[in-house]
Every structure is written in C-alpha cells, then in structure tokens.
Structure 1
Amino acid sequence: MGTVGLSFGSATSGQGFDVASTVTQIQAASQAIETPWQNQLTALKAQDTVLSSLGTDLSTLSTSLQKLTDFEGVFAEKQGSSSNTDVLSLTSASSTAVAGSHTIVIGQLAQTSSDASTSISNANDTLSGSVTIQGHTFNVDSTDNDTTLASLSAAINSAGIGVSASVITDSSGSRLSIVSGTSGAAGQLTISGSLSGASSGNITFQTGENGQDANLTVDGVSITSSSNTVSNAIPGVTFQLLAPSTTPVQVQITDATTDIATAISSFVSAYNTVVGDINTQEQSGAGGTSSPLLGSPIIAQLQESITGSLFSGSASGSINNITQLGISVNNDGTLTLSADTLTSALNSNLADVTGFLQNSGSFGQTLATALNNAGTQAPSGAIYLAQQQNSSEETALNADITNENAILATQKTQLTNELNAANQILQSIPSQLNEVNSVFDSLTGFNPNTQA
C-alpha cells in the first residue's frame, strides 16, 4: 500500500486537513484490486456479443439449410402453368403433384342455382301467403313477423336451409333474390307457394340460373365437378375453370428448380456470413487490438466442425461432391456459387441432387447435424456451452466485486469517523494554546503572544 501524506500546515494553525480526500487516497490501493476483475468482465461481455452474433448467424444458416433438407421444403414444391389463362387458371400445385403435362377440354362451367321474385313497387308493402324453399315452408304473416321483403329475407337466412336471401332494389322496384348455398346440380333450388302484396298483387318466382355441374375432360377422361374450382382431376393440383372451350388447354406441372436455385444461393450467402464471423475472430484489430475470441477454443471448434462437413456425407447417384452443384471453396473458407453449373445439375439430375441433401447420411444431413452441435441449442451446442461458461464466470466476478465494494464501504465509514475525530483535535489546538496562555498570563503577568 502506498504512503498517504496529510497536509494541514502548522500544527498550531487550526487548519486541519481534507478528510474526504484523505479517505479516497487511503482506499485507492484497496480499490485497485477490482481493476483486473473489471477488465475481465469487459472482456467476457465483448465475447458475449460475438457469441450472440455468431449464434444468430448460425441459426440463419441452419434455417437456410433446412429448406433444402426438409422433405416438405423447396424440393417438394411444384410449379404449374396454363396455356390459356382466359379459359383455365392454375391455382396451386402441392408437393404431391407429379411433374408432367396434361390436356384439358372444358365443355361447360358449373353454375349456382338462383331465383328471384317478381318486383313490387313498394319494398315495405305488406305481404301474405306462404312460400316453400327447399322443402321448408315460411308462413308470411304477422305472427312470424315476416310480412315485408326485408323481414322475409331475414327469416329465410335465419332458417339455415342452405340458401341466402336478399332484397334487390332498382328502377323497376324491389324483389326477393334467393341463391343456393351449394354450387352445381346438387344445389338446384325448388321454390313454390303463393305470395301476394297488399298493393302489388300476386308475387311469383322465376329462375335466374339453373344449378349445373361443370363438364370437362382431363387427358381424355370425362369428369364432372360441382364447382369451377377443381382439385380432384390432377393429383396435387388445383385449377379454376373460367370459360368453356373446345380448344384443349395444356397444363404443365414442373419442379420448382428456380426456387431451389434461389434457396441454395441463400444457403451459400448464409454460410459465407458465418465463415466471415469466424475469420474476423482470428485477426487482430487496428492498433493491435485483439478480437474478443482470438485464440479461443470455440473458434477452432466451429471452424473444424463446419468446414469439415463440406466434404462429408455419402453420395447420391451421380452427385457426390458440392462442386457438382457449382459450389467451390475459396482460400478464406468462403464459398462461390456457379449459377450455370447449378442449373445444369438441377435440370439433369434433380433426384440425385435431392438425395445428396436429404438422404440419411448425406451431405445435407451431415452438415445439419454439425450446425446443430455448433449453435445455441441447449444443452450441448458449442456456442450455448461457451455462453454458459461466460455467464458463470461473470456471476463469480460480479459477486467478488460486490463483496469488495461492501468491505470498502465499511472501511470508508470507519476511516471517515476516525479522521474526522483527528481533524477536530488538530483544529482545536489554537484555542487550547490560547487557554494555556491566558492561565500563564494571569499567574505571571506575562503573555508571550504580545511580545515583539
């Protein structure tokens, strides 16, 4: 511990000394013990920031790879097209669809049955009588409170008989519209009864559209559909009928090779981000400042695990190496993708490319396992374990600093009290000397303080 000097001038001056400053000087050496702890905490927190960033980038890489290794991922996607989108529009092609071409001829579209009543001039005219819709009879009277077009429409809708009713008003008057809730022939409306209006006379119903099924042929096979949305003609494919046509429409179902190429490009980009993170930690920064994880075992472990998986895993048919997918490894460990080579591989050997990424023990599955072991997954991910170790060390250091601060606080209180007492004694010396001089003067008549 260094020496602390007290500056209070002459002992008889009564000046005393600065207690707070003196306590600070005395405790400075004790507080210095915390400096290496604080430095270590700072270093650990810097490591935490890098580990968190690495974990995030590894998670992004895992997600990009999963799109390629998942059996329901991008390799399962299908794309489709119609040769005449005015006649037939392709809605979707699921993973169960099989690539191929289909010929479709549309004989007639499906229709939904609808009826409308004759119009009445006054929409609020009081109605009477009864009407039967789909076997359900509505007695139009005050008891059932359905004596206007609006109230009768509400009663029909509330009955839940598979139709919808509404009141249509135009320049010719108002009428009751009934539309079947079921498209096709099965939804054909049956309406009967006798209605009349107080000022409009008899009210009858006329057919707007007859319910009918769509007729079409798919690859020469005749098919009927109650809806113009057809999903049972080509497995995994849904299309919309827009117009009848005697000219065949060609529907083409293809593998989503464009989406696959995009997914592989995203994987390469995510991989390069992780490698860039690792490379940064192997370098010293400007001015000789070391990277937070320079020399850390976790960096070597990640590098060995991830880069080592690039050329592991079993082959799939003609594909046994990532270079056949157009992926090459640069000197710094990053990857470069040749779009032309990849497109050629996807177009000529899609099944083998799929197996190379998805088969048990394949490149894709081996790399996925390596990424899981490297990331933030509890309880054994490499980054997760490194973060847990740092957290444990930080907890111990914070506890040491807290305990030391408590000791210093107690010491500060004790020193302040002791030095305040000493300071009071120093400050009282002049008055005590004056008292002694007064006594001496009273006894001898001599006061040394008055002499020249």
Structure 2
Amino acid sequence: MASVSSSTSSLLTSAYSSSTTATTTSSSTSSSDSTSSSSSTSSTTDTDDIDWDALIESAVQAKLTRADTIDVKITDNETKIAAYQTLQSLLTDISTAAQALRAPSGVLDSQDDAFLNRAAYLTANGDVDASASVSVSVESGTEEGTYDLQILQLAKAHKVAGSSMSSSSEDLGLSGTMSLGVEGGESVEVTIDEDMTLAEIAEAINATSDESGVSATILKVSSDAYRLVLSSVETGQTITATDGSGGVLASLGVVDEEGAFTDELQAGQDAILVLDGVQVTRSSNDVDDLIDGMTFRLYQTTPEGTSIAVEVGADVSEVKSAVQALVDAYNAFREYAVTQQTLTSSGTASEDSVLFGDGTLRSATLAVYDALNQTIDDTAMSLLGLTFDENNYLELDETALDEALLSNLDEVEALLSFQMDASSSNVMLLARGTSAPADFTLDIATDADGAIVSASVNGDSSLFTVSGTRIIGAEGTAYEGFTFVFTGDDDQSIDISFSTGIAELLYNATEDLADTTDGTLQTLIDNLESTNDSLQSKSDTIRSAAETYRTNLTNRYAEYQAAISEAESTQDYLTALLDQWNSS
C-alpha cells in the first residue's frame, strides 16, 4: 500500500476506520484427530462508503478561511469607498453652488459668476409695446447702463414675383440660362432645361442660393395659379437678375422686355434705429455690433414720439437660482451626515452608518456649518432669508431673498463673494489663493518703457515674481495663489484689501476636501483602493494555492482508494486460500 503523508493520514485513518468492522478469526484444533478448523468472518471495507469529496472540501475550506477573512475586509473597504465617494459628490455640489456666488477670479471662471449675469429690462416711454418691438440679450459681464431706443425702420428682404402659371408640376418647355445675384455680390448662372417644371426651376435656383444670395419659392395663389417668388437671402439687399439665352426670366414673367422686374412685392431695405439720439442703419434686424455684449432683435417699429428704455443690470433671477442651488446642496449633504450618525435601539451604529465617527465627515460638517454662520461686516445669511431649522437644515424665505436682491444686491454680493478693493484701477485680480492676506500696499516699480521691474510689500520684493504684466505671489508666502495684472506704465503704490464672503468660505472648505485629483477624500479613496489591490492579490494567491491543494489532494486520495482496493483484493484472495486449506 502506498505511504500516507502526515498532512492527510489522520483524515484517511478516520474515514477508513469509520467504514470498516473488525475481522474476527476463530480457530479450533483437535490434537486427537489432527483436525483443525478455521473460520474467518470478515466484514471488509467498502471504499464507496467514504465521502471523499467531503474530505477534500473540508481540507480545502480550512485553507480558504484566511482568504474569506481578507475578502470581508475588501468588502468593508469597498463600502467605505462608496460612502466617501458619495460624500465627495455631495461636497462637490456645495462647491459648485458656492462657485457661482463667490465671484470667481480670472476670465475663464467669470462665466460661472452669477453676479455677472446680465439681463435687459425694457420700459415703454409712451404708447409702445416694448416687448413686442424688440428683445435684447446681454452677455455675462456687460457693463450696466440704460439706453433710449427708437426703431424707425425694419430691415426687409427684396422680393419679386413672376406671372401666374397654371401648374407647378407640369413641364414648362423653357430652355436657357439666367443670372441671379444681389447688388455688391457675384451673380450665378442657372441653367434651365425644357423638361423642368416650375417647382424644379425653383429647386435649381435654391441649389445656388448660398453663392447667389437669392432663394426661390412657389406661391400657390389658387388651385390653378402658381407664381415664382425670388427673395434675397439676407435683408437689406437688392436682387439683380439678368436673362440669358432663351429668355427664361421673361417667359416666367419675372422681368419685362427691358429686363426690369415686373412685380416687386417688397423692396429690400436696412433697419434704421436711434440709440440715445444717434441714428444708425444695419442690414439685419439682429444687431449685435451696436454695444459690446448686447444683441438687439427688432420686431416692429416704435410709433412716432415713443421710445423704449433698455436697462442693462444684474440678472437677479440667476442669483436667486444660485442661492437655491446652494440651499439644496447643503441640505442634501446635511441629510447624508445625519444618516451616517444613526444609532440602533441598542445604542450601536446602524448598518447604514458607514462613516459613523469618521473624522473627515466630522471636519467637513463643522467647516460647512461654520462658513454658513459667518458674519461679514455685521451681515449674516439672514439677509438672504436663510435660517437653520431645529435639525440644522437650511430654510429659505423667498420673499426675503427677493427683497434683498432687488434692494440690496451689492450687500448680498458682499456677504457672499470674495472682493478686492484697490486704490488704483491699474491693478486687477487674475487668480487668488484659499486665504486672503491682511490689507497691504503693493509697491510697483517700472522701467523707462513702463515694464514692471519689481513688486514688493514693505520693501520685500521676494514676496512676488514678475512675468510680463503679471505679479505672482511667491510660494510659501501669504500671497501664494494670488496673481495680479498691472495695466499701468509708471511706478505706483497701491493699497489693496480683501473681504471673504460666505460662499468663498464654503468653496474653500469643500473644494479642498472634494477635489477629485488631490483632495482629502480622494487621498482616502486612493489609499483604500490601493489597500484593496494588495488584499485582493493576497486573497487570489491563497485561493490559487487552495485550488492547487485541491487538485493534489484529489489525486492523492485516488491513489489511496486504489491502494485500499488492492489490499482488500489481496485479503479476499488470502482468505479464500485459507478456507480452502482448512477444508481439505
């Protein structure tokens, strides 16, 4: 029988002994008659009674216990990663909402600034329907102001028509060419075949309208009367049309024998408007080059003696929406934070409280709450109609917010946003850090050409580096992260002060935590994911070794079964010989 290794002998012995019975042999010998008899009764082992698979599985599972423990740790880490990612997302929502209200610096971020959103407010002066006469769109950051507008004439496209035709779908039998264009442009030749219908002639004209500036339509006057209508694509332009070979335009009744239009439906004309007493003309009713950042869309003329006041101001509806977004983002975060602190009836953390007692969640909650409770120049968030309820959720009084936006917009902006006050308009803020330095005087020295030589505070020029017109705060100083643009050309000493509003504080508190590149939460997430990668590798190694062990054990037990079967066969053979010998 094959030798049994120490690692499996106990299992085999147990299985074997549990499925066999002792062999009893009795012998009696009579000396008087020299007769001996031997009877052997054997209840032999049946290897089929041994649950080899169960033995193997038990041994393998013993090896896998450590891997199972590791997998539980991986699952716990994955649950925590998901919780951190949810927290990260909620804080990002607060950061995004705060971004719109903190007056972000720099050209790229200015589009996010709700206080730079502009709207045009129209007021009728006299008996005129302002909104039916004009609409005005205003780009973000456009200078505020009020303008007086009169619309004396709308721009129109030139339209001419041909004579009546009985059908638009029957071949006209016309053949030849025509040249179409607009004054000041290039004419395009259109070829007409005799098998073309009126509709197909219009289609041929439209195929070249991008080049010619002339389009064609078919006007159905009645069931048996159709007219070709030519229009200038752009308003304020005049169509030019010349018959070529075949006299197609004349046959269609568009021009007479002298080449003049037979039926001018509408003359092309420019728009004429008066803005603050200055009369201007434009070829289009969409006027976007009159004032930077403003587009006027003219719909109808204003009656004589009337005008429309166009006031460009802050779009307070956008600010209100941004405040509501901030309230919603905070309350969603607050709800999640409360969920993470839920206890069971026995006083232990509930199953959903994955971040129970987590230091990062606690820090985030305190930072957000502290920012909202800040008082800026004796003004608090109550100015906006914001209060905390008994569970520290934010409640918004829209009536109070509307009143503040309409009557105290500057105060609202000062409460929420980051602001810089400089004694000279020659310095502008391009970028800023997360904390504002104390009031200071920036001394700027220039050379004979007006280029910046140095920038210093209290004589210390190491606080800044100069790059062209930019003055950049040095790393490790109170001015780190701040970049100023200087537009002057001579030496100046400029007094600068900053104020930090609630939205700025919220942004700084949440952005540092939620940044998906190197924020606090992302670092925690990355560390847990790295830990899980290592744990998964260990678990995979253990499971791979266990499967190898399973294979080896299966093969070994197969050898044991073969050896047992061989031993039993030999035993049966010897018993049969003994019985035969005793019976002879």
Among candidates 2, 10, 19, match of residue 52 of structure 2: 19
Supply the distance in 2 between the matched residues of 1:40 and 1:404 (Cα, whole angstroms): 15
User: Which SS does the other structure have where 1:107 is aligned?
Assistant: strand
* Pair 1:61 & 2:94 matched: yes
Aligned residue identity for 1:438? A
Supply the distance in 2 between the matched residues of 1:303 and 1:201 (Cα, whole angstroms): 79
* Structure 2: unaligned runs, 5 residues or longer: 1-6, 23-42, 105-109, 420-435, 437-499
Supply the distance in 2 between the matched residues of 1:129 and 1:430 (Cα, whole angstroms): 112
* Structure 1: unaligned runs, 5 residues or longer: 447-452
- Counterpart of 2:531 in structure 1 is 393
Among candidates 402, 415, 418, match of residue 553 of structure 2: 415
* Pair 1:10 & 2:21 matched: yes
Among candidates 123, 133, 137, match of residue 88 of structure 1: 133
Within a 5 Å distance, the mapping from 1:294-313 to structure 2 comes to: 294-311=356-373
* Pair 1:181 & 2:181 matched: no
Supply the distance in 1 between the matched residues of 2:568 and 2:575 (Cα, whole angstroms): 11
- Counterpart of 1:433 in structure 2 is 571
Supply the distance in 2 between the matched residues of 1:137 and 1:430 (Cα, whole angstroms): 111
8 A Cα contact 1:305 1:374, kept in partner: no
* Pair 1:292 & 2:354 matched: yes
Q: Could you say what the CA RMSD is over the residues aligned between the two structures, in angstroms?
A: 3.8
Among candidates 140, 144, 160, match of residue 115 of structure 1: 160
* Pair 1:248 & 2:306 matched: yes
Supply the distance in 1 between the matched residues of 2:358 and 2:160 (Cα, whole angstroms): 80
8 A Cα contact 1:101 1:250, kept in partner: no
Aligned residue identity for 2:298? Q
Supply the distance in 1 between the matched residues of 2:80 and 2:568 (Cα, whole angstroms): 61
Among candidates 88, 101, 117, match of residue 77 of structure 1: 117
Alpha-carbon displacement from aligned partner over 1:25-72 (angstroms, at most 9, x marks no partner) = 334433322343122122112112212222222222222222323533
Q: Which moved more, 1:81-90 or 1:10-19?
A: 81-90
Among candidates 483, 507, 513, match of residue 368 of structure 1: 507
Higher helix share: 1
Relative to structure 1, is the Cα distance of residues 366 and 440 closer, same or farther in structure 2, using a 3 angstrom cutoff? same
Supply the distance in 1 between the matched residues of 2:205 and 2:566 (Cα, whole angstroms): 105
- Counterpart of 2:471 in structure 1 is none
* Pair 1:214 & 2:271 matched: yes
User: Which SS does the other structure have where 2:235 is aligned?
Assistant: coil
Q: Whose relative contact order is higher, 1 or 2, with alpha carbons under 8 Å and at least 6 apart?
A: 1
Relative to structure 1, is the Cα distance of residues 82 and 345 closer, same or farther in structure 2, using a 3 angstrom cutoff? closer
User: Which SS does the other structure have where 2:306 is aligned?
Assistant: strand
Alpha-carbon displacement from aligned partner over 1:358-384 (angstroms, at most 9, x marks no partner) = 425523233222222111411x21221
Alpha-carbon displacement from aligned partner over 1:97-156 (angstroms, at most 9, x marks no partner) = 45565443333322222222344567614256866755767889xxx5566765587368
User: Which SS does the other structure have where 1:49 is aligned?
Assistant: helix
- Counterpart of 1:442 in structure 2 is 580
- The offset of 1:268, in angstroms, is 1.1
Q: Which moved more, 1:45-54 or 1:249-258?
A: 249-258
- The offset of 1:388, in angstroms, is 0.7
Q: Which moved more, 1:12-21 or 1:102-111?
A: 102-111
Q: Which moved more, 1:156-165 or 1:69-78?
A: 156-165
8 A Cα contact 1:120 1:200, kept in partner: no
Relative to structure 1, is the Cα distance of residues 217 and 45 closer, same or farther in structure 2, using a 3 angstrom cutoff? same
Within a 5 Å distance, the mapping from 1:29-428 to structure 2 comes to: 29-69=62-102, 70=104, 71-72=110-111, 73-79=113-119, 80-81=121-122, 83=124, 84=129, 87-97=132-142, 102-119=147-164, 124-126=172-174, 134=182, 145=192, 150-151=200-201, 154=204, 158=208, 160-168=211-219, 170-171=221-222, 173-184=225-236, 187-191=237-241, 196=247, 203-204=255-256, 205-206=261-262, 207-232=264-289, 236-246=294-304, 248-253=306-311, 254-285=313-344, 288=348, 289-290=350-351, 291-311=353-373, 315=376, 320-330=379-389, 332-360=391-419, 361=436, 362-363=500-501, 364-378=503-517, 380-427=518-565
- The offset of 1:167, in angstroms, is 5.0
Supply the distance in 1 between the matched residues of 2:179 and 2:54 (Cα, whole angstroms): 103
State the number of aligned residues.
437
8 A Cα contact 1:87 1:245, kept in partner: no
The alignment's TM-score, normalised by the length of structure 2, stands at 0.64
Supply the distance in 1 between the matched residues of 2:180 and 2:529 (Cα, whole angstroms): 77
User: Which SS does the other structure have where 2:342 is aligned?
Assistant: coil
Aligned-residue identity in percent: 20
8 A Cα contact 2:243 2:249, kept in partner: no
8 A Cα contact 1:126 1:197, kept in partner: yes
Supply the distance in 1 between the matched residues of 2:248 and 2:550 (Cα, whole angstroms): 102
Supply the distance in 1 between the matched residues of 2:399 and 2:131 (Cα, whole angstroms): 35
- Counterpart of 1:450 in structure 2 is none
Supply the distance in 1 between the matched residues of 2:297 and 2:361 (Cα, whole angstroms): 52
- The offset of 1:10, in angstroms, is 1.3
User: Which SS does the other structure have where 1:245 is aligned?
Assistant: coil
Relative to structure 1, is the Cα distance of residues 87 and 376 closer, same or farther in structure 2, using a 3 angstrom cutoff? closer
Supply the distance in 2 between the matched residues of 1:198 and 1:340 (Cα, whole angstroms): 67
User: Which SS does the other structure have where 1:90 is aligned?
Assistant: strand
Aligned residue identity for 1:271? Y
Supply the distance in 2 between the matched residues of 1:406 and 1:132 (Cα, whole angstroms): 82
Q: Which moved more, 1:127-136 or 1:245-254?
A: 127-136
Relative to structure 1, is the Cα distance of residues 90 and 99 closer, same or farther in structure 2, using a 3 angstrom cutoff? same
Supply the distance in 2 between the matched residues of 1:369 and 1:87 (Cα, whole angstroms): 45
Alpha-carbon displacement from aligned partner over 1:294-337 (angstroms, at most 9, x marks no partner) = 2333323323443343356x94xx57533333333456543333
Alpha-carbon displacement from aligned partner over 1:336-365 (angstroms, at most 9, x marks no partner) = 333333233222321232244342552323
Supply the distance in 1 between the matched residues of 2:507 and 2:295 (Cα, whole angstroms): 32
- The offset of 1:75, in angstroms, is 2.0
